[in-house]
Amino acid sequence: MSRNHVYSIIQALIAALLFGASAPLAKLLLGEVEPIPLASFLYLGSGIGLLGIKAYQRTTRQPSDNEAQIKKSDYSWLAGAVLAGGVAAPITLLFSLQNTPAATASLLLNFEGVATTLIASFAFKESISRRAWWAIALITLSTIFLSININASWGFSVGALGIIAACVLWGIDNNFTQKISSKDPLMIVTIKGLVAGSFSLGIAIFLDNKIPAPDVILGALVLGSLSYGVSIVLFIHAMRGLGAARTSALFSTAPLSGMILSFFLFCEFPDWMFIVALPTMFIGTLFLVREEHEHHHIHGMTFHEHSHVHDDKHHEHDHEGEYVKKHSHTHSHNKIAHSHHHMPDLHHRHIHSSEEL
């Protein structure tokens, strides 16, 4: 596995750690604020926090040309991601959290990876190996265990099904965001946070929801800046190197931090289904981490723009003999055929035959 792929895996795992903490901490805040206002302040927190980082970069005159900028053609994908993942998903999640134990909710959020993978495979034709499909099957099975409620009339928890619905919406969001993952992640998440947060706040005011106390708002903003801001930026960086499906599968480690926090905050001790689901989910994640994929493949002539360096196998153009660090500009790739370990990253989103998987 290449150094860049290892780096992408680390980014995905840190993103999962930050996001996993959001479910129990958001449930704690739900005692002080209604779901829709909370969703708005979480996303506003992500947008405001990252806007501050962008302002700091400009104040300190840090280089601004090492990331590709969002263009007009990208806004349709961004708008879809905002509506699905920034508005509908968090509101659905927070309503569902009211009737679901925080530890169970944290594990159920794993289904986001399954939803992302299925959408990536069937709707966007991203290549999925047999090992990845085994991982999806195991994670799905553990999610079913967590959704069962033998005391409910239909045998399933309404709150758990609501969380699964939120995961599907985030799966749509992830695949839409994958389409523009080559562009500046800070700007993508800043726009998503500010637009989605403002939209949800407008809904809350229209429905006459009570606005919480300033200290509660501040807590939601800080939580959102980390769990929805920094986390999503790292997630987008990871998608560049691993593709939407594999990044989301690694993101399935998110419940570990959420589960530990839930035990401390709410004294929620696991039942037998939780105990069965956890190792099943862990084995599924392990399948993804140990995946190896190599075969002879062909890159067609391409012309695009994204952040890159010149120490890989795909960016061998020069800058009049001058050494340059990480940067972004429009560049072309000549047709090339070679064999090396790869993931469905920016340069490897080709179709596979059944033998290559």
Lowest mean pLDDT among 76-80, 187-191, 227-231, 299-303: 299-303
Rounded to an integer, what distance in angstroms lies between the CA atom of residue 135 and that of residue 285?
Answer: 6
Q: How confident is the model at residue 352 (pLDDT cuts 50, 70, 90)?
A: very low
Question: How many domains does the chain divide into?
Answer: 1
Q: Give the domain range for residue 147.
A: 14-60+85-292
Give me the mean pLDDT over the 283-308 stretch. 60
Enter the DSSP assignment of 88: I
Q: Is 47 exposed, middle or buried (0-12, 13-18, 19+ CB in 10 A)?
A: buried
pLDDT tens digits for range 115-148: 888 898 888 877 777 877 888 788 778 877 766 6
User: Using an 8 Å Cβ cutoff, are 94 and 39 in contact?
Assistant: yes
pLDDT of residue 335: 60
96 vs 350, more confident: 96
Residue 353 within a domain: no
pLDDT of residue 203: 92
Question: 101: which residues sit within 8 A by CB, 6+ positions away?
Answer: 262, 266, 268
Q: How confident is the model at residue 37 (pLDDT cuts 50, 70, 90)?
A: very high
Query: How far does CA 137 lie from the centroid of its chain?
Result: 20
Residue 338 within a domain: no
Enter the DSSP assignment of 209: P
The model carries a pTM of 0.71
User: Using an 8 Å Cβ cutoff, are 112 and 167 in contact?
Assistant: yes
Residue 259 within a domain: yes
Identify any residues that bridge with 332 across adjacent strands, giving them in sequence order. Answer: 303
pLDDT tens digits for range 192-230: 999 999 999 999 999 999 999 999 999 999 999 999 999
Mean model confidence pLDDT for the chain: 78
Residue 357 within a domain: no
**Helices of type H across the chain:** 3-20, 22-29, 35-59, 75-81, 89-97, 102-108, 111-122, 130-147, 158-178, 185-206, 214-224, 231-250, 255-266, 272-289
Residue 318 within a domain: no
**CB hemisphere CA count around 245 (13 angstroms):** 25
Residue 189 within a domain: yes
Residue 178 within a domain: yes
Q: Is 153 exposed, middle or buried (0-12, 13-18, 19+ CB in 10 A)?
A: exposed
Residue 72 within a domain: no
